[in-house]
Chain A
């Protein structure tokens, strides 16, 4: 079974509108971290936002927020006020296990291609 599922291969959003990119995860480990990365056409993976499994509040970073629903095992990325420069691939990723305890692998989803329409 996939550990990270991104069900939207592609999404379109109008400039200045908000968009939600879906991510569900599968783990039995009580300690884990969830990450979102942006990959523009240049290829570089850009870190956007992090949510720890024990964090009480949803993470926010500027126009990015993470809608963390632990019971449903979902970690959706919300981008507010979309800009043309937001057009890119977006990847959800998970790290299982305790920090520094040998849990170094990030498991990535297959990504969602976001296109912002002027």
Chain B
């Protein structure tokens, strides 16, 4: 069965510091991968998605970037964090070209920028 991992689970970072959040998927090949952000008490906002190694699409211009160095690894980064980057970050995967392309989510990372 497929599993998706995210780490760290919780992170407290000062403004201006760098960020690296990692997401890995097991039990599947060639998945579509996604990064979402959820502000407190709100729905999810898609930040980036990837359909293959090195292929990244950005949905929202921002202080963040994403990379996919391996088929099942997706990394969210920032060179300098802003207060507004605080939130709950969720990684998701979906099977490529499946009938539904249901997205399955990881456990998330809570980021607090102080």
Mark A residues whose CB is within 8 Å of B: 4, 33, 35, 37, 42-47, 50, 52, 91, 93, 95, 99-100, 104-106, 108-111
CB closest chain-B residue, reference A4: B43
Taking chain A's interface residues, is the majority helix, strand, or loop, or is none over half, making it mixed? strand
Contact of B105 among A45, A105, A111 (CB under 8 A): A45
* A-B pair number, CB within 8 angstroms: 64
Kindly state the interface size class of chain B when it binds its partner.
Answer: 20 to 34
Cβ distance B91 to chain A, nearest Cβ, rounded Å: 10
Distance, CA A105 to CA B104, complexed state (A): 13
B-side residues, CB < 8 A to A, are 32, 34, 42-46, 49, 51, 57, 59, 88, 90, 92, 94, 96-108, 110
Q: Which residue of chain B is the closest to A9 with respect to CB atoms? A: B41
